[in-house]
Amino acid sequence: MVTRQSALRARQVAAQVPDPELPMLTLADLGVLRDVRLTEDGTVVASLTPTYSGCPAMAEMRADVAARLRGAGFAKVEIRTVLDPPWSTDLITAHGRRTLRAYGISPPGPAPRRTAGPVPLVLGAARLAVGCPRCGSADTEETSRFSATACKSLWRCRTCREPFEHVKEL
Amino acid sequence: MSDDIDDHVYLSLAEQHDQEGDARWAFGTGFEDPLHGVDTAVPDGVDGAELAAVCLALGDDALVGAQRLAQWCTRAPELEEEVALANIGLDLLGQARLLYARCGQADGTGRGEDAYAYTRDPADFRNVRLAELPDGDFAFCVVRLLVLSTWRLALFGRLASTADPVLAAVAAKGVPELTYHRQYAADWAVRLGDGTDESHRRMRAALADVVPYLDEVLDARPQFAAHADAVRQETLAVLDQVLLAAGLSLPAAPAVPGSGRQGDHTAHLAPLLAELQSVARAHPEATW
């Protein structure tokens, strides 16, 4: 018997799974967990979306979500990959953003707006103002657009002198 | 597939392949089908052979391009640039995996990504030759990346609304990634072109090396015929914008005859693939 309660519980269990690369965040915080539902025959169907095409952690995420759900007593679990619509950093929750900052990682600003037609190229564009997640100073500079993972860039605070990572707007 | 296949990546893979007597996963990025759980039926009205040809060409551009970028590891001018090039390569590798997986569904063979990456000979590859040319200096790396990312972004923006929902989703997902790649290459092109005499000279030399292969990229027939004109215009407009800011211009140079899209390749592709495929070919049944 599929109950509303067990559907809610499945969702809660799946929502608690940590991200393999940013383990302070859950997959729900990141917006990677798209959907959790129970079918008529009691199968839990959880949908995940990759952050980047080359995200090496998708298989691990699938394994983690399935293992947690089975551990919570759901015998039949199916994990689906959803590519469309693509993941965006706008899907990171307010809680996820606070958690990132608490761990010294600057959360992303609003993702660039996607409009129809060619993507404009802006040369020498002024970068978004990124605040230092440690001291709060706005006097920061980007040192590299790419970091240890594709989703982050490298920054430095000119006030407290600490380097930090910033989750890129995507 | 067993019920608990998703429980743990390594255990479940071992279990899956024990059952199927197949351990080739050890060579790949590994971890089963990147389109796992996606609805992969080819819709009515979409020609499977044409779709497969597009996926194969775009997958090969990405795989070969990613391999060349990976060869910059330990050789880039600064650590930050090395990390950037590796990250760009990883994005392309991810796109290649999705495209190969789609190709195997569309061409009816059911082949997986590893079959395309590891078991085909150079003549079976359909990447443009610009992707396979040796790395050269950093200026060449920048100019090649500028051309390939600009063209690919212009095309992916249009493929995002193509009739096949999987290819459309792969393209839509690639657009923001390619936007970062193009920005990286464009910023460096301006910095080097508008830099010192030496950096300017190297950018001019790199353009002279790349331009003979530009028409092949822009032409890219027959697979991309539906978008070829618009993609060509957008690509040339962006290149003009960047080169103007960099104090450079496209030199006139005759195109090199032939096309990688038809299987014509330079002598540089075979050694690149030999290295990429060496372990998988030497130990086809190996596991660890």
Taking only the tens place, the pLDDT of each residue in A22-63 is 899 999 999 999 999 999 999 999 999 999 888 878 888 999
CATH number, position A15: 3.30.300.130
Residue A98 domain flag? no
Residues of A in contact with B29 (CB under 8 A): 56
CB contact under 8 A, B3 and A76: yes
Nearest to B53 by CA among B115, B98, B107, B129: B107
Task: Give the mean pLDDT of B165-192.
Answer: 95
CA distance A8 to A22: 25
Neighbours of B161 (CB within 10 A): 10
Does A144 contact B154 at a Cβ distance shorter than 8 Å?
no
Chain A interface includes B83 (CB < 8 A) = yes
Query: What are residue A143's phi and psi, to 5 degrees?
Result: -100, -25
Mean pLDDT, residues B229-233 taken together:
93
Give CA–CA dist B152/B221, Å, rounded: 14
Listed by number, the residues of chain B in 29-48 with a beta carbon closer than 8 Å to a beta carbon of chain A are 29-32, 34-38
Residue A33 lies in a domain: yes
Do A73 and A140 lie in one domain? The reply is no
Residues of chain B with Cβ-Cβ distance to A60 below 8 Å are 9, 31
With beta carbons under 8 A apart, name residues in chain B contacting A87.
173
Domain that holds residue A140: 104-111+126-167
Average pLDDT of the residues of chain B:
87
- What Rg, from alpha-carbon coordinates, does chain A have? 18
pLDDT (0 to 100) of residue B28: 39
Across B124-139, average pLDDT: 97
Same domain? A77 vs A13: yes
Residue A102 contacts B, CB cutoff 8 Å: no
A116 occurs within a structural domain = no
Q: Are residues A14 and A70 in the same domain?
A: yes
Q: Which of A33, A35, A83 to mutate to test the interface with B (most CBs of B within 10 A)?
A: A83
pLDDT band with cut points at 50, 70 and 90 for residue B223: low
Interface of B with A in 237-256 (CB under 8 A): 238, 241-242, 245
The number of domains in chain A is 2
Complex prediction ipTM: 0.88
Q: What is the pTM of this model?
A: 0.89
Domains and CATH numbers, chain B: 33-282 (1.20.1260.10)
pLDDT bucket at B32, cuts 50 / 70 / 90: low
Distance from CA of B95 to the nearest CA of A (A): 6
Considering chain A, what percentage of its residues have pLDDT values greater than 70? 97
